[in-house]
Amino acid sequence: MISTTSLRLAALSTVTLAFAATGGSAFAQKKYDTGVTDTEIKIGNIIPYSGPASAYGIIGKIEEAYFKMINDQGGINGRKINFITYDDAYSPPKAVEQARKLVESDEVLFVFGPLGTPSNTAIQKYMNAKKIPQLFVATGATKFGDYKAFPWTMGWQPAYQSEGRIFAKYALTEKPNGKIGVLYQNDDLGKDLLKGLKDGLGDKASMIIAEESYEVSEPTIENHLVKLKATGADILVSISTPKFAAQAIKKVGELGWKPMFFQSNVGSSVASVMRPAGLENSQGVLSLAYAKDASDAQWDTDDGMKKYLDFVAKYAPTANRADSSAIYGYGQAQTVVQVLKQAGDNLTRENIMKQAASLKDFAPDTMLPGVKINTSATDFYPIEQLRMMRFTGEKWDVFGPPIDSNLGG
Amino acid sequence: MSTVQEVVTEAPVIEDAIPKKAMALGPVASLVILALLIATPLFVKNFIIFQMTMWLIYAIAVLALNILTGASGQFSLGQSAFYALGAYTSAILMEHGDINYVLTLPVAGLICFIAGFLFGLPALRLSGIYLALATFALATAMPQLLKLGVFEHWTGGVQGLVVTKPDAPAILASLGLKVSQDMWLYYFTLAVSILIYIFSVNLLRSRSGRAMMAIRDNEIAASAMGVDVSLYKTLAFGVSAGITGVAGGLGAIAVQFVAPDGYTIQLAVALFLGMVVGGVGWLPGSLAGAAFIVFVPNIAESVSKGLSGAVFGVILILIIFLVPHGARQIAYGAQGLIGKLRRN
């Protein structure tokens, strides 16, 4: 008996060693965790389809459509994706309930793209305690790239702080003696981006001479801009979502104020911000971007964009193709498909995280030229590159090389 | 005021068949429900236990609103504010004060009682829809107050506060019982719910309860009989807020997280819905009402993702149309039916 056991042990350790030697690429044997079979991979998702943030529901719909396209093309390594998406109405308690439902009742392999800082914070501890990947969360809060404390959580879009830092660099070189006035939305977006801006300015944080915050419930934010102009600031940083971004750009134009105007990425859509604000007011506004804007005519002939447009026409004909959330969902879904391709037949939760942390120069169709996704075991911020752009005529002109904020190591 | 009166006094014929005092269930029905509540978690997954915990927590909050509206006849769309206050009190005490979670609940209840009592004072001047609007303002203001920079050190501002989930007491493990965190929290919540339920039933059967109901039925007559109208109206507000606060504290512990976005006006509306569906003024209906707000959205979502709100609305309209007095009507109907069968 003893000899058989030890023989078995020896055999087992040899196999383990052999596995260890082959590394992460090719696996002779299939390894599955809960949620995977030879024909299916179950992926969970939580998106606000109802409630105050229901405008983001389109992300979930586009992702569902994208996986349908992948399944129609034969799936990934012969496995179809079973995408289970639930509504949390942007309420943290509901998000916890849905996350637990996905993990304990539907038994998904991992949860992909849950949306919103509050909802993700609410489920983060649970996901990490259960050792289930909380992959590519749909929020730019910087705290979701903390690979040490939360090794099962990874972001996707550029962290809001990256944006602040990059613009700080730009301001320091272009206008080192400028006086900065900041308008920000009083939530995690506003505060995080502002922190990045201050960190980026470093010793010269005193360049910021005024900060004005607004609540999303305010009908108009014009009075804040009048105040900011009165402070004599010559650089205006507007950290705002589309409706308020348009109001700000328009008001600055009406006031005849000509500051160096920086608009945060979330409020830079041509269709929902720049045109409503008035093209004459929008000239010269600066912003940062990582993805292409489908309402911007310059990308109509772009190969990646053509693929995206074909996809929307065929799989999501009712969606607004110019919606930046649709582009977002497409890019995010494409990234997770890349992770699954890399994982091959080793579909364990551990390997999913390992592959998600081994993306090298991956460029989804909808990214700006030159922007690439890179991750490592010590870098849980997938998209870190942004490009400066200036609004000219009827479109954004991208200038300068992709800039890296180096948040992750 | 008048609208509530209509809702409550216009009770259907069946009301004559049962004793007037019956705001609670009979002993047999209570025991059956209690036995079910105790036994079910032993057979289901942790996730279902978690859902049941949330169900009980919302039931406590609906019950609190039921005391306010059903017994004293005052409207409130601001219960989410007291729920939030209770949740933050528990969370801050646990995370910043290192105080045991059990002890945070009475504190949460007390703070909310005081807040509710104080809010009840100016609310005295308002009644009916005006009171509803005033409390509505409270509910919309709360999330913003929680975001204020002044309190950020304590509340975590927009980022919220993560709460550590309590383990089952070590004594259970030493007795050889394996109790998961979820199961422990469920039984703990159940115990709190039973305490609050017994307290509420007794409160409504007491002098104070009768005074509140007298005010609800006719304020002038009540004051002519010597009832201190303003005292009992504010007291009802205080008690209701206090119980809601305890529910909020339990909610924070169960969800392990508090953030301003968790306590919006939607929560207040949901609690109001729960009360109407459960039956205004009928305390056991709180369980049915809470079940409605916890489970029906999931059913609606499984019918249609894009139209979940519409499906939810249709279900709600059907319920209001078919059983306007909510779960109470069904329960009374069943009771009448059983009675008839017995007589035959």
CA distance A200 to A205: 8
pLDDT tens, position by position, A292-325: 988 888 888 899 999 999 999 999 999 888 888 8
CA distance, residue B259 to nearest chain A CA (Å): 7
Q: Confirm if A352 and A135 have CB atoms less than 8 A apart.
A: yes
Split at pLDDT 50, 70, 90, the class of B156 is confident
Q: Which residues in chain A have their CB less than 8 angstroms from residue B144's CB?
A: 215, 217
Q: Which residues in B81-104 are b (16+ Cβ under 10 Å) and which e? A: bbbbbbbbbbbbbbbeeeeebeeb
| A47 and A151 belong to one structural domain | yes
pLDDT, residue B18, reads 39
Q: Which of B257, B304, B308 to mutate against chain A (most A CBs within 10 Å)? A: B257
Average pLDDT over residues A160-175: 92
The answer to whether B266 faces chain A, any CB pair under 8 Å, is: yes
**Interface predicted TM-score of the whole assembly (ipTM), two decimals:** 0.81
A126 at the B interface (CB within 8 A)? yes
| Chain B touched by A339 (CB under 8 Å) | no
Domain co-membership, A266 together with A310: no
Q: Which residues 83-142 on chain B approach chain A with CB closer than 8 angstroms?
A: 140
The pLDDT score that the predictor gives to residue A230 is: 95
> Does the beta carbon of A125 lie under 8 angstroms from any beta carbon of chain B?
yes
**Quick check: is A373 in a domain?**
yes
DSSP 8-state code for residue A294: T
Residue of A nearest to B264 (CA): A91
Smallest Cβ–Cβ distance between A100 and the set B50, B157, B297 belongs to B50
Q: Look up the pTM and report it.
A: 0.83
B255 in contact with A, Cβ within 8 Å: yes
Going by pLDDT thresholds of 50, 70 and 90, the confidence category of residue B5 is: very low
**Residue at A1 is within a domain:** no
Chain position carrying tokens 């979701």: A144
Number of inter-chain CB pairs under 8 A, A vs B: 93
Are A117 and B159 an interchain contact pair (Cβ–Cβ within 8 Å)?
yes
What is the distance between the alpha carbons of residues B265 and B272, in angstroms, rounded to a whole number?
A: 11
Tell me if A97 and B51 make a contact (CB, 8 A cut-off): yes
Q: Could you give the percent of chain B with pLDDT greater than 90? A: 52
- Region of A89 (left: φ > 0; alpha: ψ -120 to 50; beta: rest) is left
- Nearest Cα of chain A lies from the Cα of B171 at a distance, in angstroms, of 24
> Which segment of A189-203, A236-250, B49-63, B302-316 scores lowest on mean pLDDT?
B302-316
Q: Is A383 inside any structural domain? A: no
Nearest-by-Cβ selection for B257 from A89, A101, A121: A121
The CA distance from B258 to B262, in Å, is: 7
Are residues A152 and A167 both part of a single domain?
no
Confidence of residue A54 (pLDDT cuts 50, 70, 90): confident
Structural domain that includes position A273: 160-289+389-404
- Characterise A107 by phi-psi region: left (phi > 0), alpha (psi -120 to 50), beta (else): left
Report the CATH number at residue A40.
3.40.50.2300
Examine the pLDDT at A40 and tell me if it is beyond 80: yes
Tell me the per-residue pLDDT of A250-285, one tens digit each, with 9 for 90 and over. Answer: 999 999 999 999 999 988 888 888 999 999 999 999
Nearest chain B residue to A190, by CA: B158
State which residue of chain A sits closest to B310, comparing Cα positions: A50
* A42 and A79 assigned to the same domain: yes
Query: Distance, in angstroms, between B262 CA and closest chain A CA?
Result: 5
Buried b (16+ CB within 10 A) or exposed e, A147-161: beebbbbbbbbbbbb
Q: Residue A393: how many CB atoms within 10 A of its CB?
A: 9
Distance from CA of B9 to the nearest CA of A (A): 35
A10-44: b (≥16 Cβ within 10 Å) or e: eeeeeeeeeeeeeeeeebeeeeebebbeeeebbbb
CB contact under 8 A, A92 and B257: yes
Strand-strand pairing, A134-135 and A110-112: parallel
User: Measured between CB atoms, which of A49, A85, A92 is closest to B261?
Assistant: A92
Structure tokens that stand for A261 in this block: 């105007």
Tell whether A122 and A219 lie within a shared domain. Answer: no
**Cβ within 8 Å, pair B47-A125:** no
Residues of B in contact with A100 (CB under 8 A): 46-47, 50
For residue A20, the one-letter residue type is A
Residues A371 and A398 in one domain: no
CB neighbour class for A297 (10 Å; exposed up to 12, middle 13-18, buried from 19) = exposed
Structure tokens at B93: 């005490």
| pLDDT at residue A13 in the model | 53
pLDDT confidence tier of residue A195, bands split at 50, 70 and 90: very high
Residue range B326-335: average pLDDT? 86
Task: Please determine, for residue B315, whether its predicted confidence score (pLDDT) is greater than 80.
Answer: yes
Residues 94-113 of A with CB under 8 A from B: 96-97, 100-101, 103-105
Stretch A335-346: mean pLDDT: 95
Assess A177–B contact: CB distance below 8 Å, yes or no.
Answer: no
Question: Is 50 exceeded by the pLDDT of residue A1?
Answer: no
DSSP SS3 for A48? coil
* Residue A19 located in a structural domain: no
| Most confident range, picked from A1-15, B16-30, B84-98 | B84-98
Q: How far apart are CA B306 and CA A221, in angstroms?
A: 32
pLDDT score at A320: 86
Same domain? For A106 and A41 the reply is yes
Task: Count CB atoms within 10 A of the CB of residue B38.
Answer: 12
Domain check: are A211 and A334 in the same one? no
**Number of domains, chain A:** 2
Q: Are residues A394 and A273 in the same domain?
A: yes
Given an 8 Å threshold on Cβ–Cβ distance, is B259 in contact with A96?
A: no
Residue of A nearest to B140 (CA): A217
| pLDDT greater than 80 at residue A10 | no
Could you tell me which residue, B238 or B27, shows the higher pLDDT?
Answer: B238
Closest-CA residue of B relative to A92 is: B262
The pLDDT value given to residue B8: 44
Res A231 pLDDT > 90: yes
Please tell me the distance in Å from B324's CA to the nearest CA on chain A.
26
Query: What is the token pair recorded at B120?
Result: 């009840």
Does B261 contact A at CB distance below 8 Å? Answer: yes
Q: Beta strand pairing status for A395-404 and A385-392? A: antiparallel
| Rounded mean pLDDT, A337-352 | 95
Any B CB within 8 A of A122 CB: yes
Q: Which residue has the higher pLDDT, A323 or B7?
A: A323
Query: What pairing do the DSSP bridges indicate for beta strands A110-112 and A40-47?
Result: parallel
User: Are A285 and A316 in the same domain?
Assistant: no
- Which of A49, A52, A188 shows the shortest C-beta gap to B159? A188
Residue B51, C-beta contacts closer than 8 angstroms, at least 6 positions apart: A97, B294, B295
Residue A149 belongs to a domain: yes
Nearest CB neighbour to A105, from listed B47, B258, B261: B47
Closest chain A residue to B87, measured at CA: A93
Mutation choice for B interface testing from A97, A106, A144 by most B CBs within 10 A: A97
Residue A201 has pLDDT above 80, yes or no: yes
Nearest in space to B229 (alpha carbons), one of B245, B242, B252, B213: B213
pLDDT band at A89 (very low <50, low <70, confident <90, very high): confident
Quote the pLDDT of residue A100. 93
Query: Does A254 share its domain with A398?
Result: yes
Asked if residue A191 is part of any domain, the answer here is yes
Interface residue A29 vs chain B (CB under 8 A):
no
- CB–CB contact A187 B147 (8 Å): yes
Task: Assign A53 a pLDDT band (cuts: 50, 70, 90).
Answer: confident
For residues A138-149, average pLDDT: 91
Mean pLDDT taken over chain A = 89
Q: Tell me if A24 is assigned to some domain.
A: no
Q: How confident is the model at residue A6 (pLDDT cuts 50, 70, 90)?
A: low
* B83 confidence band (pLDDT: 50, 70, 90): very high
Read off the pLDDT of residues B239-263 as tens digits, 9 standing for 90 and up.
999 999 999 999 999 999 998 888 9
Task: Summarize pLDDT for B161-179 with one digit per residue, the tens.
Answer: 888 888 888 888 787 777 8
Partner residue opposite B308 with nearest CB, options A87, A100, A125: A87
Alpha carbon of B128: minimum distance to chain A alpha carbons (Å)? 26
How high is the mean pLDDT of chain B? 87
Q: What is the pLDDT averaged over residues A97-110?
A: 94
pLDDT in the model for residue A232: 93
More confident residue, B227 or B124: B227
- Checking DSSP bridges between strand B161-162 and strand B257-258, what pairing results, if any? antiparallel
Q: Domain for residue A223, yes or no?
A: yes
Q: How far is B34 from chain A (nearest CA, A)?
A: 24
In angstroms, the CA B196 to CA B298 distance is: 28
Question: Based on the domain organization, do A397 and A271 belong to the same domain?
Answer: yes
Quote the CA–CA distance of A165 and A407 in Å, as a whole number: 9
Q: Is the CB of B262 less than 8 angstroms away from the CB of A97? A: no
Q: Are B81 and B111 in contact (CB under 8 A)?
A: no
End-to-end CA distance of chain B: 43
pLDDT tens, residue by residue, B178-202: 788 899 999 999 999 999 999 999 9
SS3 B299: helix
- At A156, phi and psi to the nearest 5? -145, -65
**Considering only CB atoms, which chain B residues are within 8 Å of A187?**
147, 158
Share of chain B above pLDDT 70, in %: 93
What percentage of chain A reaches a pLDDT higher than 90? 70
| Helix runs in B10-45, H state only | 27-39
Q: Does B46 touch chain A (CB under 8 A)?
A: yes
